[in-house]
Amino acid sequence: MEKELLELVKIHTDKNPVNMLTKVVLRDKLKVCRDIAEMDFQISKQQQCEADLYKEVQSVLLGGLKDHLRTIRRSRRIVFISCGTSYNVALAARPILEELSSIPVTMEVASDLLDRQGPIYREDTTVFVSQFGETADTLHALEYALETGALCIGITNTVGSAITTSTHFGVHINAGVEIDVASTKYRILSLSHFLCQQAYTSQIVVMPMLALAIGGNTISSQARKKAIIDGLFELPSKVRKVLKLDQEMKDLVKLLIAEQLLLVFGRGYNYATVTTSFRP
Main-chain dihedrals φ then ψ at residue 115, nearest 5 degrees: -60, -40
With respect to residue 160, please indicate whether it lies within any of the assigned structural domains. Answer: yes
Q: Looking at residue 47, what is its pLDDT?
A: 41
CA distance 106 to 80: 6
With respect to residue 269, please indicate whether it lies within any of the assigned structural domains. Answer: no
CA distance 148 to 158: 26
Nearest Cα neighbor of 124 from 99, 100, 142 is: 142
Question: For residues 51 and 209, is the Cβ–Cβ distance under 8 A?
Answer: no
Q: What is the CATH number of the domain that holds 190?
A: 3.40.50.10490
CA distance 272 to 80: 14
Does 125 or 257 have the greater pLDDT score?
A: 125
The separation between the first and the last C-alpha atoms of the chain, rounded to the nearest angstrom, is 38
- How many separate domains does the chain show? 1
With respect to residue 258, please indicate whether it lies within any of the assigned structural domains. Answer: no
Domain that holds residue 111: 13-18+21-238
With respect to residue 245, please indicate whether it lies within any of the assigned structural domains. Answer: no
Residue-averaged pLDDT of the chain: 76
pLDDT in tens, 217-228: 777 778 888 888
With respect to residue 1, please indicate whether it lies within any of the assigned structural domains. Answer: no
pLDDT in tens, 215-265: 877 777 788 888 888 888 888 888 889 888 888 988 988 888 888 888 888
**Confidence grade of residue 62 (pLDDT, cut at 50, 70, 90):** confident
With respect to residue 27, please indicate whether it lies within any of the assigned structural domains. Answer: yes
With respect to residue 30, please indicate whether it lies within any of the assigned structural domains. Answer: yes
Highest mean pLDDT, choosing among 56-60, 107-111, 170-174, 243-247: 107-111
From residue 123, alpha-carbon distances to 71, 95, 126, 138 in Å are: 9, 21, 10, 20
